[in-house]
Amino acid sequence: MVNVSRRILVETKNLLREPPPGISANPDEDNCRYFHVIMAGPAGSPYEGGLFKLELFLPENYPLYPPSVRFLTRIYHPNIDKLGRICLDILKDQWSPALQIRTVLLSIQALLGSPNPDDPLANDVAKMWKNNEIEAIMRAKEWTQAYATDE
């Protein structure tokens, strides 16, 4: 079994016992550093009604280094690229060991509710968001319907 810190075990137990609203994060059966995440799109956002799959991986040196998180479900968002990578400060230079998996997941969910086209990862989406926000929101809703719902 992979060397797992007490902190990871405690965080995992807390996540399973009291999941953040609209988010489930379950550790993989074979690797307790790897989580299968399902995130509901926030109410009032273009992603409302969608269920997005993400993967979260805790590196060997967690919590000194941030987790790696990636969307597996396609999403039209200026801060998430085609590969599912997420542009979020706490996943990069603003990481602090005081943060937890729960904080990261809630921050990603908040990012869905407040896209930031001024700090893009998907430049084409950010350009659309800035030049024609109504069209961008409509496209985000269409993608949510197409890729993040079972309908």
pLDDT at residue 46 tops 50: yes
The structure tokens listed for 119 are: 């700090």
Provide the annotated active-site residues: 87
Mean pLDDT, residues 3-10 taken together: 85
pLDDT tens digits along 47-99:
999 999 999 999 999 999 999 999 999 999 999 999 999 999 999 999 999 99
What is the architecture, at CATH level 2, of domain 6-147? Roll (3.10)
Identify whether 27 is preceded by a cis peptide bond (ω within 30 of 0).
Answer: no
Per-domain boundaries in the chain: 6-147
Mean pLDDT, residues 126-137 taken together: 97
CB 72, CB 84: distance < 8 Å:
yes
pLDDT of residue 150: 76
Q: What mean pLDDT value characterizes the chain?
A: 95
pLDDT band of residue 151 (cuts 50, 70, 90) is low
pLDDT of residue 3: 57
Residues 146 and 74: their CA atoms lie apart, in Å, by 9
pLDDT at residue 131 tops 70: yes
The structure tokens listed for 45 are: 């956002």
- Residue 9 DSSP SS3: helix
Residues 92 and 104: their CA atoms lie apart, in Å, by 11
The structure tokens listed for 118 are: 């001024």
The pTM is what?
0.94
Residue type, 151: E
Identify the CA nearest to 58 among candidates 25, 21, 93, 14.
Answer: 25
Q: Could you list the beta-strand ranges (E) of 8-62.
A: 23-27, 34-40, 51-57
Mean pLDDT, residues 33-40 taken together: 97
